[in-house]
Structure 1
C-alpha cells in the first residue's frame, strides 16, 4: 500500500497499520527511511518559524537552518533509536512479545504518520507566532502522535 494511504489509514487504526507493516518482514532500511523522512519533514516544518525568528531578531537565517538541519538529520535519529529501545524494554517489562524492530517501526511510523500535523504546526509557528493557536496545534499533534505510537506499540507487542 502507498505511504499516503497508510498515513490516512493510521488515523483510523494505528495498530492495524503497524501490524500490516510488520507483516512485510523485518527490513531495517524501511524503518530507517521512515525515520529519515520524518526528520526531513520536521526540518521543513521548522523553516517558517526560523524565517520568522531571523526576521524579528536579525539573526542569519542560514545559521539557524544549519543548526536545525544538524540537529534533526544527524542527532535526532540517534535519539529516536534510543527512545525505541527504551519503549521495547518497557514492553518487555509488561510481558510484551514484540521485537526491537517492531518497537522502532512503531515509533518511526508514528512520527511519519503525524507529519501532516507537524507541518501544520510549523505553518502556525511561522505565520501566527507564539500564542494559544500554536500551543493548541502542538497539543493536538502530541496527542495524535502518542495515540499512533502507543497503538502501534501495543499492536507490535501483541504480535509474534
Structure 2
C-alpha cells in the first residue's frame, strides 16, 4: 500500500498498519525510508515558522535558517534509532517478544503517521506564532503520536518474534 494510505489508516487502526508492515519481508531500507519520509515532512513543516522568523529578524537569511534546520533534522537520526532501541528494551522487560527491527518499524511508522499533525503545527507556528494555540496543537500532536506509537509497538512486541 502507499504511504499516504498507511498514514490515514494509522490514525484509525494503527495495529493493522503495523501488522501489514511486519508481514513484509524484513527490510532495513524500508524502515529507514519511513524515517527519511518523516524527516522530509518535518523539514517542510518548519518552513512557515522559519519564514516568520526571517521577517522578524531579517539579519539572518532564510537560506541559512533552512540549512540549519535541515542539518539539525539529519543530526537527529541517531536519536530516533536510540529511542527505538530503548523502547524495545523496555517492552522486552515487560514481556515483549520482538526484535529491534520491529521497534524501529513501529517508531518510524508512527512518526510518519503523525506528520500531518506536524504540518498543522508548522502552519500554526508560522501564522499565529507562540501562544496558547501553538501549545494546544503541540499537546494534541504529541498525544496522538504517543497513542499511535504505543499501539504499533504493542502490536509488534506482542505478535511477532524475531
Aligned match of 1:69: 70
Unaligned runs of 5+ in 2: none
Deviations 1:99-152 (A, max 9, x none): 100000000000000100100100110011111111111111101100111000
Taking structure 1 as the reference length, what is the TM-score of the superposition?
0.96
Counterpart of 2:30 in structure 1 is 30
Name stretches of at least 5 consecutive residues in structure 1 with no aligned partner: none
* Equivalent pairs, count: 159
Measure the CA separation in 1 of the matches of 2:65 and 2:115: 21
The TM-score with structure 2 as length reference comes to 0.95
Q: Matched residues in 2 for 1:43 and 1:11: separation? A: 22
SS in 2 for 1:145: helix
SS in 1 for 2:12: coil
RMSD: 0.9
The answer to whether the 8 A contact 1:39-1:76 is kept is no
Matches within 5 A, 1:102-121: 102-121=102-121
Alignment match, 1:85: 85
Match of 1:125 in 2: 125
Distance 2:20 2:143 in 1: 23
Partners of 2:138 and 2:155 in 1: CA distance: 25
Offset at 1:157? 0.3
